[in-house]
Structure 1
């Protein structure tokens, strides 16, 4: 979503109030600044002064999403970063996302509001672990989810997103082994859809998505029999959703395994009055904006990523005022990683944005 609404002018009073905003650095991130009108106007003023484009992932706090120039999934935002005419990119997301933006736009300065915002999924495989795995299967093709570090992408043959993982793996010679990493639930989804027996799946997971379990989904589906189910393939409950459909507990056409961008498209098209959503709860904000007449409810309302939520109003203000934290990727790593991302983009369906 590009910000196109009329914005109030920055008056002397709002500028004065913004000047008083000070952040506090605590164990959970930067705090002390509320997302007021004055804050939003100061963020926009600073971004304009820096010639910066603000990007926000779908899982960010609603206030962060609303102040951003663009909102979407990680790869779509990185492609926007490469296309916009800005000196700087401020990526409101987790660290691997800002790295990907830097890989695709090496001549731009990329900032992340808090460099400590990591990712449990990206951390579930290191470059050294991938090297050792490749040594076990020297002729295999390596397919890495974009939720990986730049170093891992640099050791990858082709990247994928949750929306195109099936297409990417299907494009590979069926007789060739595939190493799929790092998400075991997305890997299981790809294996089901492609029917490949020669796909080897790394046992990684996003701790937030893995925590959305089948029991919760079954209970929620029973309590809301007319609701559609939007399930992210990283979720631990994805298999349960398909089981419910297979058993007739939920009509097959109501179960949709979707990327975050795919959820936005499906929200605009569904005829359901209520939708149960299995992904990080920040996604609800964009879904409700896309289809305000539908009742979107989280399958697990505790599925909140603490790393995404480290991108606070205070952190964003700090980044814009002080030019911190800048993201760097070594040139040789970036060049190899860029190849794996560009191979994916050439297949099509590279991810969804706004």
Structure 2
């Protein structure tokens, strides 16, 4: 087994797009599992990861569900195949465990769309407001937050806040618009952030694909730029209302197992198709936009994972005071609605 690892590791190269040069064959998978056992590590993979990373992982899912699995695991090391804020969340919930991410450069455009300083300035403009932050934020932002949310429980979180309290919702403007629409809340202020991948899945594109596939269900992530358009089209009768489903990634998997449709158009990052096809192989799942691929998620390559396990790189840490404050906002989220369904 050691010889296999030496051969694979010898071909790894660092590029701006990630570590390359390793073939994800069965020898690679065996070496990854062997090294994980040696390091007493649990391997977690987000739904948007490369298929081979998902297949070798011990658990695949959304970021919050994986962080909760990590906290409950007996493993001393967590290897989080996802983007940086996800590994931070795992560290927040598992402060005594070692948390590794295969490439620390794997960031997130949505998490980067608001900083802790910007949030503090926004709070100063609205004294007394309750801050609700999407779980797709940095640890520093979570530490400035009253309560976090996922896309599956965001509506429930906001409804739990007294009606006379102002709410600051950050950072995703499309999820915020969905929450405002669902709650009818006028004192909900929404930060103008976005995920560059989901924002790029637009309304005209969705309408065109739906017209080409009149019998398909539509699974739409609320971060998508097309979410509002889809609900408008359904309300106008252009699309059958029962076909339009606004869902978190976890909700998509549940719906895939329950739908009677033969085909489904999926509006989210294309990595999700792998899990959907595994959950319901008899259904034809197609991306609304097959270019909706997150380059940060795809930085977690087979070579990066192998390097991570062999070298113990890259470790993620969160300062104790920040982690303690952030943990409170995450735990308050977990107590409301359905946070396990994830982002």
* TM-score, scaled relative to structure 2: 0.98
Task: State the alpha-carbon separation in 2 of the partners of residues 16 and 49 from structure 1.
Answer: 15
Q: Tell me the secondary structure at the aligned position of residue 222 of structure 2.
A: coil
Choose from 133, 146, 164 the match for 2:135: 146
Match of 1:91 in 2: 80
1:192 pairs, out of 181, 184, 197, with 181
| Kept after mapping to 1: 8 A contact 2:4/2:31 | no
Partner of 1:172, secondary structure, is coil
Shift of 1:294: 0.1
Structure 1: how far apart are the matches of 2:239 and 2:217? 9
The residue number in structure 2 matching 1:299 is 288
> For the Cα contact (< 8 Å) 2:102–2:300, is it kept in 1?
yes
CA distance in 1, matches of 2:170, 2:183: 16
2: distance between equivalents of 1:352 and 1:56? 15
- Is residue 236 of structure 1 aligned with residue 263 of structure 2? no
CA RMSD of aligned residues (A): 0.8
Deviates more, 1:22-31 or 1:128-137: 22-31
Q: State the shift of 1:18 in Å.
A: 3.2
For residues 95-138 of structure 1, the C-alpha deviation after alignment (integer angstroms, 9 at most, x for no partner) is 00000000000000000000000000000000100000000001
**Residues 267-326 of structure 1: per-residue CA shift (max 9 Å, x gap):** 000000000000000000000000000000000000000000000000000000000000
Tell me by how many angstroms 1:16 deviates: 3.1
User: Matched residue of 2:339: which SS?
Assistant: coil
Report the Cα offset of residue 352 of structure 1: 2.4
Question: How much has 1:243 moved relative to structure 2?
Answer: 1.3
1:326 match: 315
Return 5+ residue gaps in structure 2 as ranges.
none
Structure 1 CA distance for aligned equivalents of residues 317 and 281 of structure 2:
39
CA distance in 2, matches of 1:18, 1:249: 55
| SS of aligned partner of 1:351 | helix
Select 1:335's aligned residue among 315, 324, 339.
324
Paired residue for 1:206?
A: 195
**Aligned twin of 2:237:** 248
- Secondary structure in 2 aligned to 1:288? helix
Number of aligned pairs? 340
Tell whether the 8 Å contact from 2:134 to 2:151 is kept in structure 1 after alignment: yes
Q: Deviations over 1:142-199 (max 9, x none)?
A: 0000000000000000000011000000000011000000000000000000000000
Q: Are residue 286 (structure 1) and residue 286 (structure 2) matched?
A: no
Q: Structure 1, unaligned stretches of length 5 or more?
A: 1-11
SS in 2 for 1:144: strand
